[in-house]
Structure 1
Amino acid sequence: MFSKFFKKDPLQVITFQSYGTNTHLYARGRALEDESINLDSKNWFQLLINSWKRFETDEIKFTVLNIRLSDDTVFKVKTNHRGYFTINEPSNSLAKLCNEEGWLSYEVAYDDVDVLKKITSENRFPGQILIPKESTEYGVISDIDDTILQTGITSFLKLRVLFNTFFKPASSRIPLKGAAEFYHQLHRGSTGNESNPIFYVSHSPWNLYRYLKLFLQHNNFPKGPILLRDFPKPFSGKKSLQDKKPQKQHEIVNIFKMYPKLNFILIGDSGEHDGDIYIEITNQFPGRVLAIYLRSVNNKRKMEYVKQLMQNYDQTPFLLVKDSQEAIIHARGNGFIS
Structure 2
Amino acid sequence: MSDNLPGHHIKLYHGYGHKHDLLLYGHVLGGKPRPRKKFTNNRLRNMVRLIRLFFIRPVAGIPLTLRWRSQQFQGRSEFDGFIKFEWESDTPVPAGWHEVDVSSTHNGETIIGKGGLFVPHITQYGFISDIDDTIMISYSATVFRRLRELFSFNPLRRKLFPDVSEHYRLLSLGNTTPDAPNPFFYVSSSEWNLYDYLQDVFRNGKLPEGAFLLSQAKQWFQLLKTGRTKHQGKLLRVMRILDCFPNQQFVLLGDNTQRDAVIYEEIARKFPARIRAVYIRDVYSPKSAFTAELLRKLQEDTGVQACFFTDSTDAISHSRSIGLVEPGAEPEVDGPAAGEPANTPADK
Smaller-chain TM-score range? Answer: 0.7 to 0.9
Distance 1:198 1:204, change over 3 A: same
Number of residue pairs matched by the alignment: 312
C-alpha distance in structure 2 between counterparts of 1:328 and 1:44, whole Å: 34
SS of equivalent residue, structure 1 residue 246? helix
Alpha-carbon contact 1:205-1:231 (below 8 Å) kept: yes
SS in 2 for 1:111: strand
Measure how far apart 1:234 and its partner are. 3.8
Give per-residue Cα distances to partners, 1:134-187, cap 9 Å, x unaligned.
Answer: 3x11100000000000001234xx322011112211111011111111111111
Check 1:39–1:143 CA distance in 2 against 1; reply closer, same or farther (3 A cut).
farther
Query: Within the alignment, does 1:24 sit opposite 2:21 as a pair?
Result: yes
The answer to whether the 8 A contact 1:191-1:337 is kept is no
Given that 1:38 and 1:50 are in contact with CA atoms closer than 8 Å, whether structure 2 keeps it comes out as no
- Local SS of the residue matching 1:312: helix
Aligned partner letter, 1:130: F
Code of the aligned partner of 1:24: D
SS at match of 2:56: coil
User: Which residue of the other structure, out of 107, 130, 135, is the alignment partner of 1:113?
Assistant: 107
Cα distance in 2 for residues equivalent to 1:94 and 1:106:
15
For structure 1, the 5+ residue unaligned runs are 1-7
Which of 197, 206, 215 is the equivalent residue of 2:183?
Answer: 197
The CA distance in 2 between the partners of 1:284 and 1:292, in whole Å, is 14
What is the aligned partner in structure 2 of residue 146 from structure 1?
133
Shift, 1:265, TM fit: 0.5
Deviation for aligned residue 1:325: 1.4
- Cα 1:230–1:36 change in 2 (3 A) is same
User: Hey, what does 2:343 align to over in structure 1?
Assistant: none
- Following the alignment from structure 2 to structure 1, what is the Cα–Cα distance between the partners of residues 38 and 58? 20
Cα deviation digits, residues 190-249 of structure 1 (max 9, x gap)? 24434211000111111111111111111111110101111443448xx9xx99733211
TM-superposed deviation, 1:112: 2.9
Query: TM-score, normalised on structure 2?
Result: 0.82
Paired with 1:322 and 1:86, the residues of 2 have a C-alpha distance of 37
Aligned equivalent of 2:93, options 73, 92, 95: 95
SS state at 1:95 partner: coil
Q: Tell me the equivalent position of 1:183.
A: 168
Corresponding residue of 1:296: 282
**TM-score normalised by L of structure 1:** 0.85
After superposition, residues 114-133 of structure 1 pair within 5 angstroms as 116=109, 123-133=111-121
Calculate percent identity across the aligned residue pairs. Answer: 27
The residue correspondences of 1:49-68 to structure 2 (distance < 5 A) are 49-68=48-67
**Per-residue deviation, 1:16:** 1.4
* Cα deviations by residue, 1:243-293 (Å, 9 ceiling, x for unpaired): 973321110011111111211011111221111110101122121110111
Cα distance in 1 for partners of 2:230, 2:50 equals: 29
Q: CA RMSD in A?
A: 2.3
Secondary structure of 1:202 counterpart? strand
Q: Secondary structure at the match of 1:154?
A: coil
Q: Which runs of 5+ in 2 are unaligned?
A: 327-348
Distance (Å, rounded) in 2 between the aligned partners of 1:113 and 1:186? 50
Q: Which residue of 1 aligns with 2:83?
A: 85
Give the secondary structure class of the aligned counterpart of 1:184: helix
* Structure 1: distance between partners of 2:106 and 2:92: 27
